[in-house]
């Protein structure tokens, strides 16, 4: 069983992910808003999910949670890079391509949240 603290954090993380999805689907893309949401997402991860206590859990669960935390961290770094590239894109085709990549990263992160929540 995963700590309730981490379950709540995972839900908060997913809420911000959905807000990012809404931002990238909006008719008028607001890069500043997207960047702010990313920072909020990163803060939740660093302050809540990454700090979740896994001591005392089954070793298999502990290993899976730690691996999932590592993958979330890696995907967040890639997402940050994608947002930076999106900010610098000048052509509509490039913007659309970057938005697609960002959408894929959001789906990955949602999947990782489901893995964490599956230990309830």
Task: Give the model's pLDDT for residue 57.
Answer: 72
Task: Give the model's pLDDT for residue 29.
Answer: 87
pLDDT in tens, 104-118: 999 999 999 888 888
Domain count, the chain: 1
Task: State the burial class of residue 102 (Cβ atoms within 10 Å of its Cβ: 0-12, 13-18, 19+).
Answer: buried
Among 107, 109, 120, smallest CA distance to 45 is for 109
6 pLDDT higher than 70: no
CATH code (residue 61): 1.20.120
Structural domain span for residue 68: 4-117
| Matching residue, tokens 């999805």 | 21
């Amino acid at each position: 069983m995963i700590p309730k603290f981490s379950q709540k954090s995972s839900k908060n993380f997913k809420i911000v992910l959905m807000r990012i999805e809404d931002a990238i689907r909006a008719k008028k893309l607001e890069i500043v808003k997207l960047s702010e949401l990313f920072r909020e997402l990163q803060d939740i991860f660093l302050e809540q999910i990454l700090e979740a206590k896994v001591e005392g859990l089954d070793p298999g669960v502990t290993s899976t949670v730690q691996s999932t935390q590592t993958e979330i961290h890696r995907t967040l770094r890639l997402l940050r890079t994608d947002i930076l590239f999106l900010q610098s894109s000048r052509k509509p085709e490039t913007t659309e391509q970057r938005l697609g990549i960002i959408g894929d990263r959001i789906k990955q992160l949602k999947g990782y949240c489901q893995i964490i929540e599956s230990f309830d």
